[in-house]
Chain A
Amino acid sequence: MPDDALGRPFGVPVRREPVLPNGVLGMLIFVATEIMFFSGLISAFVIGKSNAIGGWPPPGQPRLPIEETALNTAALLASGVALYFANRSFKNDLPSTKRFLGLAIGLGGFFVLFQGAEWVALIGEGLTVTSSQLGGFFYLLVGAHALHVVAGFIILLYTYRRLSQHDLDRFTFWPAQIFWYFVVGVWPVLYWQVYL
C-alpha cells in the first residue's frame, strides 16, 4: 500500500483531539450571551443611578451592607480559586481534586446562604422590589446573579457526583468550570456598581 505525503499508510484514517470540545464551545457561547445580559442590566442600573433626583442611594432607604458583602465576595472568589486548583489536580490526583471541588462547592453554598440572610435583613428594613428604584434594581441585578450561582452550584454538585463515581471526564468538567468562573467573575463588577 503506498504511503501518503506524511508517510502514513494510504487510506488509514487518523483523528485529532477536537480543537474545541462541543460542550466547551456551547458553554462559551452561552456565557457570552449571559455577559451581554448582565452588561445590559448594569448599563440600565448606571443610567438609573445617574438620573436619580435627590441623590443615590435614595433617601429613606436602608444602606446596603458593604462590609459583610465584602466578606461574601471574598468567599465567592476563593471558591473560584479552589476550582482552579481542582482542575490543576484533575489529571493525576483524585483526592486533591475532590477536596478542592468540595471546597469550591462549600464556599459557593456559603455565598448563597449568606446572601439569603442579607436579603431577609434588607426586606425587614424596608428595602423591597417596589420600595424604590434602588430596591428594584438591587433585587433584579443581585437576584439574577443569585439564580446563576444556584445553577452553578447544582452543576458543581453534579460534577462532584460524577467525580466520586470515577465517571468525570474533562469535557464535562471544563464547561462546568467556565460557568462557575463566569459566576465568580461577574460578581465583583456587580458589587462595585451596586454596593459601593
Chain B
Amino acid sequence: MIRVGRACAALAALVVVTIANSALACPSCASPLEENRQAFVDTTIFLTVVPLMLIGGMIWWIRRRIRAMEDTPEIPVPESLLRDAGPFSKRG
C-alpha cells in the first residue's frame, strides 16, 4: 500500500514537472529597455560582490593583525590584578 502511494506521488511529481511552464523570475528579462536590463545585471553583480568583499576584507585584516601580534611580546599581568585572580591563582 505504501509502495503504491509512493509510486503515485512520484508519478504526480513527474506530471507536474513535465507539464508546468517555466517561470521567468528574472525581472530584467522582461524589460524592453536595454539600459534597464544592463542596470539589473550591474546591480546584481554589485550586490553579490560587496558582501563578499566586506567579509573577506575583514577576515584578511584580522588575520594580518593576529600575525603582526604574534611577534609582539606578551605583557605580564600586574601584581595588583594577580591578587584578585581567584582560587586558581598560583600566587594565592
Asked if A50 and B77 sit within 8 Å, CB to CB, the answer is no
Asked if A47 and B85 sit within 8 Å, CB to CB, the answer is no
Q: Which of A8, A39, A40, A50 contacts B39 (CB 8 A)?
A: A50
A11 to B82, CA, bound (A): 11
Asked if A40 and B47 sit within 8 Å, CB to CB, the answer is yes
Q: Does A166 contact B (CB under 8 A)?
A: no
Q: Does A66 contact B (CB under 8 A)?
A: no
A residues near B (Cβ < 8 Å) are: 1, 8, 10-17, 19-20, 28, 32, 35-36, 39-40, 43, 46-47, 49-51
Q: Which of A1, A14, A35, A51 contacts B54 (CB 8 A)?
A: A35
A15-B74, A19-B69 known; A36 and B51 CB under 8 Å?
yes
Expressed in whole angstroms, the minimum distance between the Cβ of B42 and any Cβ of chain A is 7
Expressed in whole angstroms, the minimum distance between the Cβ of B65 and any Cβ of chain A is 5
Asked if B36 and A50 sit within 8 Å, CB to CB, the answer is yes
A171 to B19, CA, bound (A): 63
A2 to B55, CA, bound (A): 44
Expressed in whole angstroms, the minimum distance between the Cβ of A19 and any Cβ of chain B is 5
B residues less than 8 Å from A51 (CB atoms): 31, 33, 36, 39
Q: Chain B's interface: helix, strand, loop or mixed, by majority?
A: helix
Starting from the known contacts A12-B90, A17-B72, A39-B50, 14 additional A-B residue pairs (CB-CB under 8 Å) come to: A1-B90, A10-B90, A11-B89, A12-B76, A14-B77, A16-B72, A20-B62, A32-B55, A32-B58, A36-B54, A39-B46, A43-B46, A47-B36, A50-B38
A80 to B55, CA, bound (A): 24
A13-B77, A17-B72, A39-B47 known; A46 and B39 CB under 8 Å?
yes
A95 to B41, CA, bound (A): 51
Q: Does B66 contact A (CB under 8 A)?
A: yes
B residues less than 8 Å from A8 (CB atoms): 76
A175 to B90, CA, bound (A): 37
Which of A16, A19, A50 counts the most chain B CB atoms within 10 A? Answer: A50
Asked if B74 and A16 sit within 8 Å, CB to CB, the answer is yes
Nearest B-chain residue to A31, judged by Cβ:
B54
A8 to B91, CA, bound (A): 14
A residues less than 8 Å from B77 (CB atoms): 12-15
A residues less than 8 Å from B72 (CB atoms): 16-17
